[in-house]
Structure 1
Amino acid sequence: MPARDQHSIDDDWLDTDAESQAEDSEDEPTVPCRYCRREILEDCDRCPYCEQYISSEDGPPISKPRWIIAGTLLCLFLAYWWIFN
């Protein structure tokens, strides 16, 4: 059995690490950062690129659907019309 020098052993180790990291990164779900739009891991607390904290409090405000607003205005109009007619 031929002897292997330390340099070739280290090269083999580095190749294996690169392959396993590529496989690991494909398995983990990612989402876009809401500040810089780069792909980050879903369970990150902070974006590694722009260093902004990611939390639900920082998200954009959720607006009501238009049909709820229109329905409310229609009900108010009908109540006003019924009372004063």
Structure 2
Amino acid sequence: MERDTIQRLYRINRKDISTLKFLLESYEGIAVSRTIDDKIALVEMMIPRGFYQTFMDFVADISEETGMAPVYTSHIKGDLHEPEKTA
């Protein structure tokens, strides 16, 4: 069964974690964030499937300013970190 949300891990500049949360609130429904580790600025993003492309566009828009970038690791269970497969 396919999940309703896509989970991804991202690194971001520490000083921009609160900015990210503020921006996400202004784009109501695009995603929910959770800080996994504030020392290394690791955040988990939970993205509704219907907003995935909008979220990716959002990340592209803010990545240069905030340093937001996906984290790909193999030691975390699930698909938190796997790139979205496209058909």
Q: TM-score, normalised by structure 2?
A: 0.20
The structure that has the greater radius of gyration is: 1
Using CA pairs below 8 Å that are at least 6 residues apart, which structure has the higher relative contact order?
A: 2
Q: TM-score, normalised by structure 1?
A: 0.21
